[in-house]
Amino acid sequence: MYDVVVVGAGFNGTIAAYFLAKKGFQTLLIERGRALGDKTQGPTEFPTLSIYKRDPELYNLLANVVKEVPHMINDFVMGSYYYYIDKNNKVRFKFYHDSPGSVPEDHYIVHNPSYIRKLGEKIAEVGAEIKTGTAVVDVIKEGDTIKGVVTDKGEKIEAKLTIAADGRISTVARKAGLLTKWDEKDWHYQYGEAWKFKSEDEMFEATEYARYHFSGPTITPFTYFGATLTHRPGAIVTVNMPTGVPLSYMNKNPRWYAMNLYQVKDVRQMLGKCEGFPNKPLQRYATVYPHFVAPLEKSYMNGLLVIGDAAGGCGVIAHGRVASQIAIEALEANDVSEGRLAKYQDFLNLQKRAFDKLMKIMFNIKGPGLVGETDIEEFIENMRLAGPPFIIGVPNPEKIGFEALQGA
């Protein structure tokens, strides 16, 4: 009998397990991958550390782990190239734009699998047990209470509290009866490939120290969210395509979009230096994730808390930390009833209201270079006039130079 079993060793599951074990609770972290990090969603940006300074314990943990894994300052501070590629797969427009915003210096890029593995070492140091290569296939349910999980090896693992951080289509949430079917319009799809250069100097020289954004019908099924090419530690670039496309828009194999992109001369010249290009990338990964915030109607029941992507939340780390705080209070009170665990649903609903407000503002802004309800012709003209369709970081009016921004 464990105090708590956490299912899924992504960012939220590992954070929750760390703080529960550190508090002295007998904690088991279960991961279906052969090693921690194996199933983590590729190399990616890491949140700005300074936003966690109000939580010194969390901030110090994250900062220490970042220092111990390959990392680099986020390349949002660099300029960006914006391309529009037409239906004949020809470059119709390209534009270079300096970043019009400022990004905090502690906004890092890390290699997620490496980061999760290092975080796993910290979890073990505070006394948690970690079980990898193990999939959870069912829950132990007595009446309206969850008492633990069942693994693919036939093990029945009992726990006072189960935390489901097993992502997207959560097995735990489904078996518990909290998840029946996600609405397709509430989900985004992303496919990515990673390519490795011989050195970071070669990588930056080939990419001209810039990020790349590609849009067009042969690159993405959705106007604004096309392909991106970005830098990673260890001389790696990732090409994500499509990026943030509603699942209901997907009508072709993502590799079709990738191969079209790789036929673009500029892309071919950049990535031609990478071993295996264009058919054998260093890594391939795909995921679906909630469209900003699409929470379950109920993310909790007696003995169970469903968190992060599994609950339809959006974001890493914060969900795991909030879940750990709620779980610690419940276990200390020896009360894991749904009435106490419902606090997490309040957090989800608050996040949804904030994102809904942000999206309403963002998608109703009109003007050159800003996101609005524009067609392809207007989109290209906006790019020509002002560069990016998004303002990255904190806008700098001197760099933007458009009255349209004042209304934003």
User: Which of 93-97, 271-275, 395-399 is least confident?
Assistant: 395-399
- Say whether pLDDT at 178 is over 90: yes
For residue 372, what pLDDT band results from cuts at 50, 70 and 90?
very low
- Say whether pLDDT at 399 is over 90: no
- 394 vs 238, which has greater pLDDT? 238
pLDDT digit string, tens, across residues 96-118: 877 655 666 777 888 788 889 99
User: Which of 100-114, 156-170, 289-303 is least confident?
Assistant: 100-114
Mean pLDDT, residues 77-105 taken together? 78
Mean pLDDT, residues 220-249 taken together? 80
Looking at the chain, the whole-number percentage of residues with pLDDT higher than 70 is: 81
Q: Give the Cα separation of 168 and 310 in Å (integer).
A: 5
- Say whether pLDDT at 36 is over 50: yes
Mean pLDDT, residues 121-132 taken together? 97
Measuring CA to CA, which residue among 272, 294, 263, 273 is closest to residue 359? 294
For residue 50, what pLDDT band results from cuts at 50, 70 and 90?
confident
- 311 vs 285, which has greater pLDDT? 311
pLDDT attached to residue 189:
79
Looking at the chain, the whole-number percentage of residues with pLDDT higher than 90 is: 49
Q: What is the pTM of this model?
A: 0.84
CB 138 within 8 A of CB 147: no
67, exposed or middle or buried, with CB in 10 Å at 0-12, 13-18, 19+? exposed
For residue 402, what pLDDT band results from cuts at 50, 70 and 90?
very low
- Say whether pLDDT at 397 is over 90: no
For residue 74, what pLDDT band results from cuts at 50, 70 and 90?
low
Mean pLDDT, the chain, rounded, equals 84
- Say whether pLDDT at 253 is over 90: no
For residue 314, what pLDDT band results from cuts at 50, 70 and 90?
confident
Within the chain, how many helices (H) and strands (E) appear? 12, 21
- 308 vs 375, which has greater pLDDT? 308
141: β partners = 146
pLDDT attached to residue 137:
98
For residue 388, what pLDDT band results from cuts at 50, 70 and 90?
very low
- 199 vs 217, which has greater pLDDT? 199
List of residues 6+ apart from 402 with CB closer than 8 A: 367, 368, 369, 385, 386
CB 93 within 8 A of CB 384: yes
Mean pLDDT, residues 384-401 taken together? 46
Q: Classify 287 as helix, strand or coil.
A: strand
Provide the 8-state DSSP code for 86.
-
Q: Give the Cα separation of 150 and 141 in Å (integer).
A: 10
For residue 403, what pLDDT band results from cuts at 50, 70 and 90?
very low
- Say whether pLDDT at 19 is over 80: yes
- Say whether pLDDT at 48 is over 90: no
Mean pLDDT, residues 236-245 taken together? 82
Q: Classify 70 as helix, strand or coil.
A: coil
Per the listing, tokens 């490496």 go with 114
Mean pLDDT, residues 334-345 taken together? 96
pLDDT attached to residue 360:
66
